[in-house]
Amino acid sequence: QKEVEQNSGPLSVPEGAIASLNCTYSDRGSQSFFWYRQYSGKSPELIMFIYSNGDKEDGRFTAQLNKASQYVSLLIRDSQPSDSATYLCAVFNSNSGYALNFGKGTSLLVTP
Amino acid sequence: EPEVTQTPSHQVTQMGQEVILRCVPISNHLYFYWYRQILGQKVEFLVSFYNNEISEKSEIFDDQFSVERPDGSNFTLKIRSTKLEDSAMYFCASSDPWGPSRTEAFFGQGTRLTVV
């Protein structure tokens, strides 16, 4: 069973702080890694994806990937109350088809 | 901005009844998917569809499930004889495998299926 693990949280950070969300995966053949945001009762919304080791920045978001450690993270700078949601890590391996394998998600609460 | 649309947004059905969930994927996308999310649990893959046939399916996608692309725009998921445990949010997604971010999947707003 190929697992994607996330701490369920909740992770509570004050407004303006950096939120750090982590994800580990068991499938060494994984090629692409995605972070989705999901508000309660809504569908997953893609925030960003990363393929290569290192950092990838997009606005207030930075994804970090370390394939050797099978670890991917998402940093949210200047956190806002509107960032309060569940963040889903999803992993893709084309050798396993085009399906995404999701973690259970980390609940983030940004307090004013 | 193009989006995946799903209908209905909420469906209530009696146990044992058949339901059809409908999706209109993004028009230039070639891969279509159904995922489900039971309340409080993770998003789970059900099936992918490419070139008018099932590309991959999970162990959840048993004989009571089927998918179809009846015309050039719609993509449907049929559950033949619903069970209480089929109650979940069902998400349709699509992706463009030849685009610049070929594995990026866009999700519809979901259909909440309640089996009573």
Tens digit of each residue's pLDDT (9 = 90 or more) over B5-59: 999 999 999 999 999 999 999 988 888 999 999 999 999 999 999 888 998 999 9
Residues in chain A closer than 8 A to B91 (CB atoms): 43-44
**Closest to B32 measured CA to CA, from B90, B80, B86, B96:** B96
Q: Give the angle B39-B43-B41 at the CA atoms, nearest 5°.
A: 35
Q: 3-class SS at A80?
A: coil
Residue B61 pLDDT class (50, 70, 90 cuts) = very high
Residues in chain A closer than 8 A to B103 (CB atoms): 31-32, 34, 49, 92, 94, 98
- Say if strands B88-95 and B31-37 run parallel, antiparallel, or are unpaired: antiparallel
Tens digit of each residue's pLDDT (9 = 90 or more) over A52-92: 999 999 999 999 999 999 999 999 999 999 999 999 999 98
Q: Is A99 in contact with B45 (Cβ distance < 8 A)? A: yes
- Say if strands A11-14 and A106-111 run parallel, antiparallel, or are unpaired: parallel
Q: How far is B97 from chain A (nearest CA, A)?
A: 9
Select from A31, A98, A101 the Cβ nearest to the Cβ of B55. Answer: A98
Residues 6+ apart with CB under 8 A from B43: A44, A88, A90, A100, A102, B35, B36, B37, B91
> Which ranges in A18-59 belong to alpha helices (H)?
none
Q: What is the mean pLDDT of residues A27-48?
A: 93
- The rounded distance, in Å, linking the Cα atoms of A106 and A37 is 10
